[in-house]
Structure 1
Amino acid sequence: MNNPDEIFQNAIVAHRSGDLDTAGRLYRQVLAAAPENSGALRNLATLLASNGSMDEAVDLYRKALLQIPNDLAVLTNLGLILQQQGNNDEAGTLYNRALEIDPNQANVRIAVADMHLMAGEANVAADHYRHAIEIGASESRIHANYAAALLALDNIEKALGEALTAVKIDKQNADAWNILGRIQLENGDIEQAVPSFQAAIQLRPDWYAPRLDLGVALQRSGNLSDAILTFENARKLNPDDLETGKALAAAQIALGQSDAADMVLDQLEKIHPNDGELLFHRAISRRANGNLEESVRLFRLAIAKGLNAPEAYNNLAVSLFDLNKLDEACVAAKKALEIDPDFSSAYNTLGNWASETGDLEGARDWYLKASDIDPEFAAAISNAAYVTRLQGHLSESIKLYKKALDVDPQLAEAWSGLGLTYQQDNRFSEALAAFDKGLESQPDNWELLNNKAISYQATGHIDESLATYKSALDSKPDNPEIYYNLGNLLLSLKRVDESIAMFNTALRLRPNYNAVFSYLAHALMQQCNWLNLEAAIERIVQNIAEEVKSGQIISTSPFSMLSLPVPAEYRLLSSKQLAAQTAQELEHQRKSIKFQYKPKGKKLKIGYVSPDFRQHSLGLTFLDLLMAHDHEEFEFYGYGIFSNDPDLVTDQFRRVFDHFRDLTPCSHEDAARVINEDGINVLIDLAGYTKGSRLQIFSLLPAPVQVHYLGYGHSLGADFIPWLITDHDVIPDDIAAHCSEQLVYLPDSFLATSHHEISKEEVFRSDYGLPEEAFVLANFNGLYKIDPKAFGVWMRFLRRTPDAVLWLQHGTQGAEQNILKEAQARGVTPDRIIFTKHIPHTSHLARLRLADIALDAYYHSGGVTTTDAIWAGLPILTVAGPTPSAQTGVSVLKAARLPELITYSLDEYERRLHHLSDNRNELVAIRDKMISTRDDVPLFDSARLARHLEQGYKMMWDQYEAGIPPEGFDIPALP
């Protein structure tokens, strides 16, 4: 069989039957005999292309075109191969020749459209897809690609229709579902976009693109947890993808997971070391953590690495603004506008700048410019309304707030501003309606709740106002001892009369022995011997003033000053002097050791140092806090420095700490070495200037971050402990100005508490000598905390209220006798004062219910005794006295959501006591409230306190790790 035509026909038969080897051999025989046989050239090229032999196929197609230049199949097939090989120019030429021959070749139109779509030429691609569909192309893929081209052209409506058609034709087309989700996401229809992306993922589980888009959709919907999980799954499929990593880090930052975000950014920076956008995200993270200086540095570094974007400059401006660097912020925001004159966020930032500098009219113009560019920028409109209100244009302000709320009905700041404007206009009903509307979407918004309570109060709705204030506080609560002599020893042994004799003897032998006076005062208070107390206190203040004036060391210890009416600047100076003395003791060791610090490992290592990890009020309450700590994310070390033998409570601490060291027998230097070798990142002193403390250890700087918390609670004046954890009530602003530390403010009370067991035994007043029908006042603090001023209030109350008695904790015989003498001197008979002995704690808590109200003293409020009363449901009335020790009650009651029991002067204190006695149903209501809410208030939420402290530790560590000097901050409140 030598006839080429006959061989060609047999080749076609073999080709059609799938015998490709035979067909290929026969085609080659034909071409050997007739090299210009166009059919054999074309068919063999097609066969070779199907087998992947593209180069030979291209060669044969080219030869075929010399014979049949207008053959549509050759033109199209050669174009497809060349397009796959990246030769788009020649492929395009071939496609155009084919379309000149027959404009209605759908497959050619589709090939041309695909090529232009891949090249980013969406307009050309869209025309060809449209034409192909018009002439009959109906595959799902064609409609999906057409939708993609239309989306690129911002023709959302048309694109949505094509995508819906694509999925209708083939519900198994993952590409169609993905493009549909992208269109829905672009159109703001997130609820529809999410299932579309999920369908694409289900059809193609190994495709990372829809996972990235799904994560974006979830992030925009506020579902950050699921968004993070989705991004993480996408990264498993494409670990080095830059955009997925950035999206994951952004979501983690938004959810407060800065450490996790840093890990992602670290990984990406190894692959993309010069990507400024990674630094941009890290800067956002630092700002979210309150580390503004570091965020500024990182924004600037991102810009230096080429991120010449308006977002970078505007975010730099925002951080500078928050740092009160207003001129620099203005320059950065204007730089953003140089890059993009229509960048609305920069105009909003300039509005903030103008408002802060007092240019309200300019601020309004900037805000309105932002909303002109972006009519959907509700926050800018609300900001314009705010400055308009400050200008006194209430009607215009109301209009602007309503305009902002038309754009974003859930914008809490706009509802709050609208309500405040109504308030300012004396339109309280409308104000309440505005606040309520905002609370529909954000029921825990403290600002809305606070403003609502103000409106209630203004309209006489007192109960509603109190309840609303409580709700607001639930959401966001707003918040100085070492002498050595025989007298001091006797005092510590509670041999108070003997100690007083010793102090008096010392002063008789040396009248200017200033150090004695504070101990004498304390001893007099222990014995409730008030005859010479006021003179002793006056002498202490006089001595301190003279010592300061002459540049001497203050003889009164910082601890003693805490409960004395001494100017705050004297307390700080005394603390600084004592701290300097402490550091000086080990200055040589500190200089010679120069500890090196280990880097942070997987967990942040936290060390607590205390003499009170034992049967002690601080130890018992701190134990609950320690158990509530997150031992998965942090590693906790306990360092005991005992002055008494460890006990059963110490054994509990050994079990709860991840590691426990008894440093009692160690020298200061050896103790510091143990801590340093443990690699502690954050070291916390829990004793301050209280008994048993060893600040010398801290003066050696064994850890990079050193903090004081809880045990002393006020400024130590120590350079080696630059941080102090407190709350805004224990150290208000006027006291903060006299603290050497950078203050870390907890959002609730600084005090740790415990859920102590309350005995279920039935208790009766007769068991404790209390009259059954009496109105019982109680104070279970040590008698030394009672002062003449508070006692005077109590005695006046007893004289006015015949059925009332005062129930006090047992003291020394001399103290009890002095109390009764003072009562008689104030017209109250001894039978009206009843002393009670110490009993087991569970029984003590049970007997608290026998009292009607507990009372704090003026100079020294209770701590654990106060929390005991609240836990047992006993209302306790406090007064914010003139000393630091008098502020604890305010802090505790605020954290217990009991502001109605806080007073701010003795007059108010006395009036409030009489009011509650005259309206005893209020006390019953308060008691019921305390019992019903005690499990929910921050005061007894050890887990909440633990989370706040942990966040504070991380924020302090972040500052250290970034090389930033300690800078105080408020720990963000948990919801």
Structure 2
Amino acid sequence: MTRANRLARDQKFSDAAAIYGDILAKFPKNTKARKALNDLRKQISQAENPGIEVQKGLVRDYESGQYGQVAANCASLLNSHRRSHFLWEILGNCHLKNGHLDEAATCLNKACELNPKAPSSFAALADVYRAQGDMNNAIALYEKSLSLDPDLLPSLNNLARVLSDLNRMPEALPLLEKAVTLAPNNPTLLYNYGNALRKSGDMTRAKALLEKATELAPQLVEAQYNLAQMQSLDGDKEQAIERFEAVLVKNPGDDRTRSDKLHAQAQLNDWRWIDEYQAHRRHLGLTGTACAPFTALTFEDNPDLLRLRTQAYANEIMPAPKAATRQTPCPDELRPDRLRIGYFSSDFHDHATMRLMAGLFEAHDQTRFHITAYSYDGAPADATRSRVMKSVSQFKDLSAASDQAVLDLVKSDELDIAVDLKGFTGDSRSRLFSDRLAPVQISYLGFPGTLGSSAFDYLIGDHVTCPAGSERYYEEHLIRMPHSYQVNDNTRKLSSQQFTRKDCGLPQDGFVFCSFNNSYKITPREFDIWMRLLAQVDGSVLWLLDTSETSKANLRREAQARGIDAERLIFAPRAAQPEHLARHQVADLFLDTFVVNAHTTASDALWAGLPVLTLPGRQFAARVGASLLQAVGMPELIATSEADYEARALNLAQDLDALAKLRGKLHRNRQTAPLFDTKGFTRDLEQAFDMSFEHHLRGRAPVHLNVSEGPTCNSKLPNPAHLPLLRGGVIGMGQQA
């Protein structure tokens, strides 16, 4: 003790502290040594740090956002206080705020070295690594800070956000729950916890937390926006629109919010959205925040503009794509016995995508292809899911897996081709494809357009949806199928119930025009034509899908404004799929929409025997109806202009014999035409896989490919695995545009 006291008087603080520490290690109850050590620490702090008033001033200026001035003052003070933990930490935080990440890391590393028991320094250094994208080091440092202070709110919050971004929800949720317990009225924590619960599927609790966050902090724009999104998904479009508008008052340049608001109005058939869109279309999604591509494609039929908007969105949410590794060409390279194909989706249940695809999984040639379904939805098991699971080689539930866990698992499976069935639609994890899940990556079916990212080598279309000259609309290279790009399941059942018009709320007599498209697809362009048809065809009615009371009221009002009795619009309630298919048969003619055609909806009608009249546009989504009709052998139902569309519809409504002949032709064609030939489509798709993988084996970059008509490989032919690479004469090879 005497020696330590003398060293302390001589200001040899480190030596004195070491001796006091040794004494306390041997004699933990020595109160004199403990008091002396505490006093010494105060002396050290006073000697190493600037005065208390100076520190308070720096903190005050930092909290007011004067980061540059605080940084300059700290740098000056460090000339005389080189070992000040306080100065190094606040200087590091200033650099972090200003985006000078390397300088921030240097300062905060020094702060951690000077005071290895300061949790705030480790938390701030974790923030730096997070900003640099080094999530592993960020997580380790957040955990270090929490080991020093388990209740440190910034670390609880920020660690949870990192884990949530990595889709490690089981680890993130307890941290946010603890944070909210410690600070139940902190709106930022409530918002983050609500978002995490939303991501994990607990919508009820998520909505309650977001509502509380917005009540406590109405200015918290992100919470307002996310709550509006949830209200819109819940069907409360009116509330959602009001909240979107409140966000736009605070931030008029928020394109993401504006596009979501316009889409919600379109879903209600509140056509005021059209004028507002026209006022903002030149910059929407391009100069401010990006807007969701699926929403963007519904606004207008402009594939050039859609590609730009989609690229902006992809640049915002997709990591920089890893370049594909090109195979070294080898003349003797053999195709594997079974190409390993991975399908990625969150729709492996009773969903429109699986209603189309379930038969494809059953039809795949298991001797030549090893099929894995990677599912990242938490939907409960149903008959469709069970059917897929029985059909594929492997079914892997990734719903609770983090992004890194998914990447590790998929890469260990060594896929040859990865197929994304979602694109930029709900519950998508398309960003995973930026990390290169397979040598060949393909976008198919889920999103009708480009994904705007070089992460995808190919997009599957056909010669109608993607005609010659349309290549510039796509970031991907095109694989054109010989018939329609859309697969169909020819085992789908119609209900055995024989629906009558009375059952469906329709008049016994009179022509029934039908359009079961979603409400947002209906615009004044189609509606004006439909109302003129009703005016010209006595006793006719228009049979639409019931999407909401507000939508119905708006459409009835628009009908009356055009001189049509609102009662001539009849709305069909939602029904189970077999019943929905069967009730199509009481209608006379399906009228397609223009900017976004009927897709699965059109296949439903054709499969049920109901003729579909369409008008192809320019973008992929506006040409699907024509693709389906071409593949079912009914080109006479493809109009060439709006006037032609109206004239054909009127002619069929007034010439019931011509309509009957069309229905008879459709009835015959649905049994033989390529559209509903599930096995034939599967063989064509397998040819597409062979073609794209052959390119990889040859070390070639992707090019536009045309799949030739008819199967080139089936169970009667030798397995190409036992042959050299396929030659040019065996499969059709498209030319690069």
> What TM-score do you get using the length of structure 2 for normalisation?
0.63
1:867-878 equivalences in 2 (<5 Å): 867-878=603-614
SS at match of 1:768: coil
Pairwise CA distance, 1:577: 3.0
Aligned to 1:631: 366
What is the identity, as a one-letter code, of the residue corresponding to 2:434?
A: S
1:906-936: CA deviations, max 9, x gaps?
Answer: 1111111111112221111010111122110
State how far apart, in whole Å, the 1-side matches of 2:327 and 2:700 are. Answer: 18
SS at match of 2:309: helix
Aligned to 1:829: 565
Correspondence 1:847 to 2:570: no
State how far apart, in whole Å, the 2-side matches of 1:505 and 1:583 are. Answer: 29
1:478-557 equivalences in 2 (<5 Å): 485-530=226-271, 532-544=272-284, 548=286, 552=287, 555-557=290-292
Q: Which has the higher contact order (CA 8 A, sep 6+)?
A: 2
Aligned to 2:92: none
Q: Which has the larger radius of gyration?
A: 1
State how far apart, in whole Å, the 2-side matches of 1:568 and 1:867 are. Answer: 23
Pairwise CA distance, 1:733: 3.2
State how far apart, in whole Å, the 2-side matches of 1:731 and 1:506 are. Answer: 38
**Contact 1:881-1:905 within 8 A present in 2 as well:** no
Aligned to 2:653: 917
Taking structure 1 as reference, are residues 765 and 812 closer, same or farther at Cα in structure 2, changes over 3 Å only? Answer: same
Matching residue within 919, 938, 963 for 2:674: 938
**Contact 1:553-1:574 within 8 A present in 2 as well:** no
What is the identity, as a one-letter code, of the residue corresponding to 1:511?
A: P
Correspondence 1:698 to 2:433: yes
Pairwise CA distance, 1:759: 2.0
1:169-188 equivalences in 2 (<5 Å): none
**Contact 1:490-1:496 within 8 A present in 2 as well:** yes
State how far apart, in whole Å, the 2-side matches of 1:690 and 1:877 are. Answer: 27
Q: How many matched pairs? A: 483
What is the identity, as a one-letter code, of the residue corresponding to 1:674?
A: L
1:379-426: CA deviations, max 9, x gaps?
Answer: xxxxxxxxxxxxxxxxxxxxxxxxxxxxxxxxxxxxxxxxxxxxxxxx
Pairwise CA distance, 1:515: 1.7
Pairwise CA distance, 1:897: 0.8
SS at match of 2:374: strand
State how far apart, in whole Å, the 2-side matches of 1:850 and 1:793 are. Answer: 22
Pairwise CA distance, 1:574: 2.6
Correspondence 1:664 to 2:405: no
State how far apart, in whole Å, the 2-side matches of 1:584 and 1:902 are. Answer: 41
1:202-254: CA deviations, max 9, x gaps?
Answer: xxxxxxxxxxxxxxxxxxxxxxxxxxxxxxxxxxxxxxxxxxxxxxxxxxxxx
Taking structure 1 as reference, are residues 566 and 537 closer, same or farther at Cα in structure 2, changes over 3 Å only? Answer: farther
What is the identity, as a one-letter code, of the residue corresponding to 1:503?
A: F
State how far apart, in whole Å, the 1-side matches of 2:318 and 2:283 are. Answer: 25
Taking structure 1 as reference, are residues 793 and 616 closer, same or farther at Cα in structure 2, changes over 3 Å only? Answer: same
State how far apart, in whole Å, the 2-side matches of 1:839 and 1:569 are. Answer: 37
Structure 1 or 2: larger helix share? Answer: 1
State how far apart, in whole Å, the 1-side matches of 2:519 and 2:557 are. Answer: 14
State how far apart, in whole Å, the 2-side matches of 1:578 and 1:939 are. Answer: 33
Aligned to 2:495: 759
State how far apart, in whole Å, the 2-side matches of 1:787 and 1:734 are. Answer: 28
Correspondence 1:687 to 2:422: yes
SS at match of 1:834: strand
Aligned to 2:382: 647
Instruction: List gaps (5 residues or longer) in structure 2.
Output: 1-223, 712-737
> What TM-score do you get using the length of structure 1 for normalisation?
0.48
**Contact 1:896-1:934 within 8 A present in 2 as well:** yes
Matching residue within 877, 880, 895 for 2:631: 895
1:307-322 equivalences in 2 (<5 Å): none
Correspondence 1:926 to 2:640: no
Superposition RMSD on alpha carbons, in Å? 2.4
Pairwise CA distance, 1:567: 3.7
State how far apart, in whole Å, the 2-side matches of 1:540 and 1:885 are. Answer: 22
**Contact 1:714-1:731 within 8 A present in 2 as well:** no
Taking structure 1 as reference, are residues 878 and 864 closer, same or farther at Cα in structure 2, changes over 3 Å only? Answer: same
State how far apart, in whole Å, the 2-side matches of 1:594 and 1:888 are. Answer: 34
State how far apart, in whole Å, the 1-side matches of 2:368 and 2:526 are. Answer: 47
What is the identity, as a one-letter code, of the residue corresponding to 1:526?
A: Q
SS at match of 2:502: helix
State how far apart, in whole Å, the 1-side matches of 2:698 and 2:652 are. Answer: 53
State how far apart, in whole Å, the 2-side matches of 1:599 and 1:578 are. Answer: 39
Pairwise CA distance, 1:645: 4.1
SS at match of 2:319: helix
State how far apart, in whole Å, the 2-side matches of 1:739 and 1:727 are. Answer: 13
State how far apart, in whole Å, the 2-side matches of 1:686 and 1:568 are. Answer: 21
Matching residue within 504, 507, 513 for 1:771: 507
1:887-913: CA deviations, max 9, x gaps?
Answer: 111111111111111113211111111
**Contact 1:595-1:702 within 8 A present in 2 as well:** no
State how far apart, in whole Å, the 1-side matches of 2:557 and 2:347 are. Answer: 36
1:531-576: CA deviations, max 9, x gaps?
Answer: x1211221341223xx75xxx4662222222222264333222333
**Contact 1:641-1:664 within 8 A present in 2 as well:** yes
**Contact 2:581-2:605 within 8 A present in 1 as well:** yes
Pairwise CA distance, 1:772: 1.3
**Contact 1:608-1:684 within 8 A present in 2 as well:** yes
Taking structure 1 as reference, are residues 583 and 513 closer, same or farther at Cα in structure 2, changes over 3 Å only? Answer: closer
State how far apart, in whole Å, the 2-side matches of 1:623 and 1:499 are. Answer: 35
1:662-717: CA deviations, max 9, x gaps?
Answer: 12222222212212211211111111111111122211112111111111131112
Taking structure 1 as reference, are residues 888 and 484 closer, same or farther at Cα in structure 2, changes over 3 Å only? Answer: farther
**Contact 2:302-2:618 within 8 A present in 1 as well:** no
Matching residue within 857, 860, 879 for 2:596: 860
SS at match of 2:650: helix
Pairwise CA distance, 1:509: 2.9
Between the aligned residues of both structures, percent identity stands at: 30
What is the identity, as a one-letter code, of the residue corresponding to 2:540?
A: A
SS at match of 1:542: coil
State how far apart, in whole Å, the 1-side matches of 2:280 and 2:354 are. Answer: 32
State how far apart, in whole Å, the 2-side matches of 1:748 and 1:484 are. Answer: 42
State how far apart, in whole Å, the 2-side matches of 1:594 and 1:936 are. Answer: 42
**Contact 1:527-1:815 within 8 A present in 2 as well:** yes
Correspondence 1:813 to 2:549: yes
Pairwise CA distance, 1:633: 1.3
State how far apart, in whole Å, the 1-side matches of 2:347 and 2:280 are. Answer: 30
**Contact 2:301-2:622 within 8 A present in 1 as well:** no
Aligned to 2:157: none
1:700-719 equivalences in 2 (<5 Å): 700-719=435-454
